Structure 1
Amino acid sequence: MTVTTEAPTLKASVDVRFTAAGTPLAVRYDGRIWVVAEEPVHWFTRDSWWETRRNVPVGVGNVVDIEHWRVQVRRTSDSPLRTFELRRDPLSDQWLLDAVTDN
């Protein structure tokens, strides 16, 4: 499955299991467990909160950092790798699957 220009993002809710060190270990997507098979890539982007939220209560916490992970996953040890792009928006505990790419 590859995300196309007609559907640039999936925005599907997923569950992510992390190691004790905070690195993704597995992703539950579409009722299946996908195991992280390669070293994941981690980065942050900034949200334009002033455009997406009219106001932010004082003391709410971090409202600008969007967390991203790019993980290469597989279903079984001999299945092909796929790349999942994960995102967690500020003030949310829910991870979203933004894109899936076949390697």
Structure 2
Amino acid sequence: MTITPEAPTVNTPVDVRFTAAGTPLAVRYDGKIWAVAAEPLHWFTRESWWETRRSVPVGIGNVVDIEHWRVQVRLGSNSPLRTFELRRDPLSGQWLLDAITDN
């Protein structure tokens, strides 16, 4: 399934490769490697666990803070930039693609 600006689908699993400093370097999505082409934006949000009523095993760690990255990516040096919004699921550690926008 492909996410497009016209038909966004949230929670699509992706693989994210990071630099040694912890900044996204590339995203594997839809069978392709998208290289990060600009300085990414990083932030955290908080999970409303009382609304989702998700139970968590004792000792699992921090499941309240959700990590986000907004990265501008491209397939090659001549391809147009696209913006991916990424979110890390605190329970699984899996990176999810929340949105794609064209620049």
Q: TM-score, normalised by structure 2?
A: 0.88
- Change in Cα spacing, 1:99 to 1:54, as seen in structure 2 (3 Å) is closer
CA contact (8 A) 1:84 1:97 kept: yes
Correspondence list, 1:6-17, <5 A: 7=7, 9-17=9-17
Residue 44 in structure 1 maps to residue 44 in structure 2: yes
Q: CA deviation at 1:79?
A: 0.7
Displacement after TM superposition at 1:55 (Å)? 3.4
Distance 1:45 1:93 in 2: 15
User: Within 2, Cα distance between the matches of 1:83 and 1:33?
Assistant: 14
Tell me which moved more, 44-53 or 56-65: 56-65
Gaps of 5+ in 1: none
Could you tell me which residue of structure 2 aligns to residue 79 of structure 1? 79
Which amino acid in 1 is paired with 2:21?
A: A
Structure 2 residues not aligned, in runs of 5+: none
Which whole-Å deviations, capped at 9, do the CAs of 1:19-51 have from their partners, x for residues lacking one?
011100000000000000000000000001122
Q: Aligned to 1:25, what secondary structure does the other structure show?
A: strand
CA distance in 1, matches of 2:94, 2:56: 19
Q: In structure 2, the residue corresponding to 1:10 is in which secondary structure?
A: coil
- Match in the other structure for 2:5: 3
Partners of 2:73 and 2:84 within 8 A in 1 = yes
> What is the identity, as a one-letter code, of the residue corresponding to 2:84?
F
One-letter identity of the residue aligned with 1:48: S
Q: Percent of aligned pairs with the same residue?
A: 81
Residue 55 of structure 1 corresponds to 55
How many positions carry a matched residue from both structures? Answer: 101
